[in-house]
Amino acid sequence: MAYKEVVVKKPLLLIILPYASLILFFGLWQAVVQFGIIPNTLLASPSQVLTTFIDKLTNANPDGATMGAHAWTSIQEAFLGYLLSLVIGIPLGLAMGWFNIAEGLFRPIFELIRPIPPIAWIPLTVFWFGIGLAGKVFIIWIAGIVPCVINSYVGVRMTSPVLIQMARTYGASSWQIFTQLCIPSALPMVFGALQLALAYCWTNLVAAELLAADSGLGFLITMGGRLGRPDIIVLGMICVGISGAIIGFVIDQVEKKLLAGIRR
């Protein structure tokens, strides 16, 4: 019994609407700058940004590194921080959701640390790690771990109580219930955490790079500000936006593949 995917034909309007909205957005933006409604010193037009982008691909001036170098630095920092927050946050959240000892031990500390904005850690981070890679990874880690813990915790908590009862009557141990029922039940929430944590990490990247740095997309933005170059600022912002969207899309696709059986 194979299942055929039902193909629903979308109306043409719905297909073109996302493109139309993007074109309209960039068109308006270009027009606003081109006709001087907003002076060029305050905002760069999309075409200027594109020119700067092409130039920056090979030119390290005026901020000291090429586009590729900036992106590479940022990706390294963001991914190290992201991976660390997943590796520590997800198991911690899962354990907190099922084992009372883990919850009693970590919940109070977590609740206390959670409301502190990641950038508030910057001064301490400088003391601890200096201004190298480690400090920035730490800030990003702090930012990413929060959604990992919360989502995994809630995911485990949402495990259907009837499923747990069912397993109990068969004589399942607490560990069996945790690994065989709670973790699979929590997976959709955990995948949600992958998305959320990425967003948190990526947005805090800029903040982390405010910390003295010599390359990175966040650094590019701050340098643009210091040099009075709106085109560089906007270029940095757009790069952060586009690369974040791409990574989000990739995670979404992986999630769809892996959770095929769970999604209704």
Partner 1 sequence: MPTDSQTRAKIVVNNLTKRFGDLTVLDGINFTIKEGELLAIVGPTGCGKTTFLNCISKLMPATEGDILIDGEEANPKKHNISYVFQEPTCLPWRTVRENVAYGMEIKGVPREERIERADRIMELVGLKSCADLYPNQVSASMMQRIAVSRAFAVNPDLLLMDEPYGQLDVKLRFYLEDELVKIWQKLNATVLFVTHNVEEAVYIAERVLILSNKPTHIKAEIPINLPRPRDTISPEFVELRKQVTELIRWW
Mention every residue, 6+ apart, whose C-beta is less than 8 A from residue 163: 181, 185
Q: Does 264 bind partner 1 (CB under 8 A)?
A: yes
Q: Does 262 bind partner 1 (CB under 8 A)?
A: yes
The nearer residue to partner 1, 3 or 127, going by C-beta atoms, is: 3
Helix (H) or strand (E) holding 175: helix 174-177
Q: Which of 7, 12, 14, 162 binds partner 1 (CB under 8 A)?
A: 162
Answer whether 215's CB lies under 8 Å from 73's CB.
yes
Q: Does 10 bind partner 1 (CB under 8 A)?
A: no
Which of these, 176, 197, 179, lies nearest to 187 by C-alpha position? 179
Tokens of 169: 């009557």
Q: Does 6 bind partner 1 (CB under 8 A)?
A: no
Q: Does 5 bind partner 1 (CB under 8 A)?
A: no
Mention every residue, 6+ apart, whose C-beta is less than 8 A from residue 194: 86, 251, 255
Q: Does 187 bind partner 1 (CB under 8 A)?
A: yes
CB atoms within 10 A of CB 34: 14
Q: Does 154 bind partner 1 (CB under 8 A)?
A: no
Q: Which of 22, 176, 245, 250 binds partner 1 (CB under 8 A)?
A: 176
Tokens of 12: 């043409």
CA angle 92/104/84 to nearest 5° reads 20
Site size for partner 1, by CB under 8 A? Answer: 22
The nearer residue to partner 1, 4 or 10, going by C-beta atoms, is: 4
Q: Does 1 bind partner 1 (CB under 8 A)?
A: yes
Tokens of 103: 């919850």
Q: Does 35 bind partner 1 (CB under 8 A)?
A: no
Q: Does 167 bind partner 1 (CB under 8 A)?
A: yes
Q: Does 184 bind partner 1 (CB under 8 A)?
A: yes
Q: Interface with partner 1 by CB under 8 A: which range of 10-18, 35-43, 163-171, 243-251?
A: 163-171
CA 97: distance to chain centroid?
23
Segment 237 to 256, residues that bind partner 1, using CB under 8 A: none
CA distance 1 to 4: 10
Q: Which of 43, 163, 196, 237 binds partner 1 (CB under 8 A)?
A: 163
Give residues in contact with partner 1 (CB under 8 A). 1, 3, 160, 162-163, 165-172, 176, 181, 184, 187, 260-264
